[in-house]
Amino acid sequence: MDHLLGIDLGTSSLKTIVLSREGVVLSSDAVDYQFDSPVQGYAEQDPRVWWNACVTTIINAVRSAGISAADIRSIGFSGQMHGVVVLDKDYQVIRPAILHCDARSGEQVDRINGNIPLELRQRLFRNPVYPGFMLTSLLWMRDNEPENFEHIAHVCSPKDYIRYLLTGVFSSEYSDASATLLFDIENNCWSEEILTLSGLPREIFPHCTEPTAVVGKISPSAAAVTGLSEDTLVAAGGGDLTMMAVGNGMVRNGDGILNIGTSGQVSFQIDQPVINPALNTNMFSSYHSGRWVLYGATMSAGLCLKWWRNTTGNPPYDMVNEMVAQTPPGSRGVIFYPYLNGERCPHLMSDISSCFLGVNASTGYGEMTRAVMEGVVFNLRQCAEICAGLGFSADTYLASGGAARSDNWTQIMADIFNKPVKRVIGEEQACLGAALTAGVGAGFWSSIPEAADAVVRYQDRIFTPIAANTAIYDEYYEIFRDTFPVFSRNLQKLTNLGRKI
């Protein structure tokens, strides 16, 4: 049993990789799906969709690796954060899971912010109170679906539900639990003070462990449908941002990541908890006790390019990249504000929308597309400046997520940040981080840093800032930053008017 599985439960797909003890990715498989939006602003998924995808990808990945399922020693998980799965006393799903990108709980957010003084929110939450987090979604359910709420006996994060179905053990771990707004982030336990203030019962929340802890083995029922051995160990795993950092080898104090996936983050590994007085950044537990991650999160990053391509006929990425490469920095005067799903950082606004600025009769597809890429990175630069104000920055950044596959977008990162940017060899870093966590749990490596040093490798090419481009971007960034407050209120009005239709 010398192989590992890494499973990443995302918002739009579930992916599984098989990793050898030597750190070689032998195979991968993925199943795509969409979240449901029965009402504008809602984002839900049926957890059974995740389970079906999990079973399918495990079977396919093991078969593609050319090994026996009995060769899998340990499994680890990465999962979309903040969402809530609610179960009855028999661990049956009560309703679709409410996801991180759900916006329905604005009234509950306003009530918390109005009833709890800022100083207390800073100390208790260490994070902004925002729709889509487990706390606010549960309060919405209590207010609007009392018949469902009354039947809740167990609550967990998305990946914890999948792990329960594989093991029969109901548990969570520090990184995902810390992203619920219900957790004492310094002491790694559910916050009795928050639970008392919110009126939520402690007994519905699971026991929590270290991400590398082995929480069980494959149950007989799961073995029957996946083919896995009942001797296979199952580690707790972690939230996707934590596992992505592990899979990128960015696990030491001060390591900085620019991640552009569906959403986007600029993040830093830190060894002490901090309080941001403005509460417009996030801080959660990381891969081990005594380690945290600080980040500024933008709600729409790669989603912006996906939306733009879908809106314009879905041209091939090769064509898109070629047109962007032929467009100069600054997109000939066009700026894009990447707020398709509201925003968390740098603007804590759930009711904000995107817009283009500077479009004219000569503006073409290349300018519009490059402006989308640049706008996302401008926003991440604002996030990074907020983190720098708290004392955390990086000399070199690592590009992660789908944008890291694009040379154009990676160079834009280097130019706008005026910092070197590197990339790892390979893809699916969250899956890899999950597998490394499983390996530490199984004793393949003694720690996450040791595992990352043994497995993660970086590309030879480093994207260095081009001075002329950086000078142009500094001017555009000043306009991007300073113009937004002028029209943000009207963008909020437009968003709210659109939701009434």
Does some domain include residue 334?
A: yes
Do residues 49 and 35 lie in contact, with contact meaning Cβ atoms separated by under 8 Å? Answer: no
52 and 30 housed in the same domain: yes
Residue 495 confidence (pLDDT):
79
310 and 267 housed in the same domain: no
* Number of domains composing the chain: 3
Mean pLDDT of the chain: 94
Residue 251 confidence (pLDDT):
95
- Residue 15 Rama label (left phi>0; alpha psi -120 to 50; beta): beta
E strand or H helix at 383: helix 365-389
Residue 348 confidence (pLDDT):
77
Give tens-digit pLDDT for 349-367: 877 889 999 999 999 999 9
292 and 322 housed in the same domain: no
Question: Which of 200, 224, 242 corresponds to the end of one domain?
Answer: 242
DSSP state at residue 64: H
Percent of the chain predicted with pLDDT > 90: 86
> Pick from 384, 302, 380, 381: which is nearest to 340 by CA?
302
In angstroms, the CA 162 to CA 64 distance is 22
396 and 346 housed in the same domain: no
Query: What's the CA angle centered on 129, arms 484 and 39, to 5 degrees?
Result: 80
329 and 313 housed in the same domain: yes
228 and 347 housed in the same domain: no
Average pLDDT of the residues in 402-418: 96
In angstroms, the CA 111 to CA 279 distance is 16
What is the extent of the structural domain holding 434?
A: 249-298+392-455
Relative to beta strand 264-270, strand 292-298 is antiparallel
User: Predicted confidence band at 41 (pLDDT cuts at 50, 70, 90)?
Assistant: confident
63 and 163 housed in the same domain: yes
190 and 77 housed in the same domain: yes
Does some domain include residue 81?
A: yes
Give tens-digit pLDDT for 113-134: 999 999 999 999 999 998 999 9
Does some domain include residue 471?
A: no
146 and 42 housed in the same domain: yes
- Which residues are within 8 A (CB) of 346 and not within 5 positions of it... i.e. 6 or more apart? 280, 296, 379, 382, 383, 385, 386
Domain with residue 440: its CATH number is 3.30.420.40
Residue 40 confidence (pLDDT):
82
> Pick from 108, 173, 178, 165: which is nearest to 141 by CA?
108
| pTM as predicted | 0.91
Average pLDDT of the residues in 57-80: 97
Residue 101 confidence (pLDDT):
86
Give tens-digit pLDDT for 248-307: 999 999 899 999 988 899 999 999 889 899 889 999 999 998 899 999 989 899 999 999
> Pick from 100, 70, 58: which is nearest to 435 by CA?
58
In angstroms, the CA 72 to CA 5 distance is 7
Residue 501 confidence (pLDDT):
63
294 and 312 housed in the same domain: no
Average pLDDT of the residues in 325-353: 89
282 and 224 housed in the same domain: no
Do residues 125 and 281 lie in contact, with contact meaning Cβ atoms separated by under 8 Å? Answer: no
In angstroms, the CA 465 to CA 416 distance is 8
237 and 259 housed in the same domain: no
Residue 490 confidence (pLDDT):
83
DSSP state at residue 130: -
Give tens-digit pLDDT for 152-175: 999 999 999 999 999 999 999 999
Residue 353 confidence (pLDDT):
87
